[in-house]
Homo-oligomer: A and B are copies of this chain.
Amino acid sequence: MVKVPSPNKSTVTAQDVARLAGVSRAVVSRALSNNGSVSPQSRARVEAAARQLGYQVNFLAQGLNRQRSQLIGVVVARLTDPFRSTLVNALLSAIQARGYQALVTEITDEQETGLSLRRFTQFRVSGVVVTSGQPPESIVRECIEHHIPVVGINRAQSGPSMDVVCSDNHAGAMLAAAQLRAAGCQSFIWLNYQGSTWAGRARGEAFHHALTAKGIAPECLRELQAPKDGYEGGFWAAQHSDLQHSALLPQRATTGVFCANALLACGFLDGMRQQGINAPTDFHLIGFDNTPQTAWESYQLTTIHQQVDVLAAKALDCLHERAKNPELAAQVIPVAVELVHRRTSPCVTEQTDTL
């Protein structure tokens, strides 16, 4: 049973511990941070004193002195997007597991990324993870000059200073293309929204390549662009696609739809259903992200799964690496994705996809 004598003095400092333990501040610091040599008995006395007084390091002072806080900055936009919150959740876990604390900034506009980074440097963070927005290269360089590593997740590499960890969009698009092909789709739709993120565009291009590589004629791939992101965007796209007509053709050539993200896919599916068209009977549908909702009974979306915890872990690895070696050339680290077979494009029985 630890007994705190009395919280008379509002805040207990290393000095107080030193006094009680009968040593100097320096010894206290060394003992508590396992840094420098301390005799076993001193250490014991310090630890006892610290416990007794309920001493806790002042991270502000510690950071000021070390020129580095145990903070890691995280930039995110629209946390209400299920994929984003899943990713941030993974990041928080990873950050805390490594003994850091997360300083989170929400941006509503890509432009704000830079400002966030600046504020992070003012806290002397140990690193920054950008999950949304594209920071201006100049500001990233500022960070690097302050020895603050910056890593992006699922975004374009902007300049030579920022590492990037990125789900393998190309592989994802290939998996989607292969699945749709194997399922017998003859025509294809790529669904994205206007002003899509870099990741979305990358997926679209990869899908295009994957299809043409499979010998699909260009006119068989249409692109649908919703005026806005999210569920509503997908819903809108469904109402403005002409899939309902082609699906009703006598010799219906099954259409395969690939979406830039999970929300678009959910919205699209609902929008089509509202018109009496459903997957996989009338068309096939594959989304990206594998958010929890895509697994819900009403959707059961076939989707490309992103390993968020791997993304998070590798991002932190990156920060760590680069902190040790700032001169390192910027890397792009791919993270594998997986195709999750669900109802909107069910698994096809073994079939060599060599067409």
- Closest B residue to A291 using CB positions: B80
| A297–B235 CB distance below 8 A | yes
The reply to whether A124 and B292 contact each other, CB–CB distance below 8 Å, is no
A269 to chain B, nearest CB (A): 8
A299, B274: Cα distance in complex, Å: 13
Which residues of B lie under 8 Å from residue A273 when comparing CB positions? Answer: 297-298
A interface size (C-beta, 8 A) = 56
Number of copies: 2
Interface membership of A52, Cβ < 8 A: no
| Structural contact, B56 and A121, CB atoms closer than 8 A | yes
Say whether A103 contacts B106, CB under 8 Å: no
* Chain B minimum-CB-distance residue to A274: B297
Given the contacts A10-B145, A231-B292, A297-B273, A80 and B85 also touching, CB distance less than 8 Å = yes
User: Are B106's CB and A123's CB within 8 A?
Assistant: no
A69 at the interface (CB under 8 A from B): yes
Write the nearest CB–CB distance from A106 to chain B, whole angstroms.
4
Interface pairs A-B: 8 shortest CB-CB: A85-B85, A270-B297, A92-B106, A298-B298, A79-B89, A60-B64, A60-B63, A59-B122
> Is A122 a contact of B57 with CB atoms below 8 Å?
yes
Residues of B within 8 A of A104 (CB): 92, 102-104
Task: Specify the chain B residue showing the minimal Cβ separation from A77.
Answer: B89
Contact B122 A56 (CB under 8 A): yes
A249 close to B (CB within 8 Å): no
Question: A102 near B101 (CB under 8 angstroms)?
Answer: no
**Cross-chain pairs A/B with CB under 8 angstroms, 23 sampled:** A7-B145, A10-B145, A10-B147, A59-B123, A59-B124, A60-B60, A60-B69, A60-B124, A61-B64, A71-B103, A79-B85, A80-B86, A80-B292, A85-B85, A92-B105, A93-B106, A93-B108, A103-B104, A231-B292, A235-B297, A266-B296, A270-B297, A293-B293
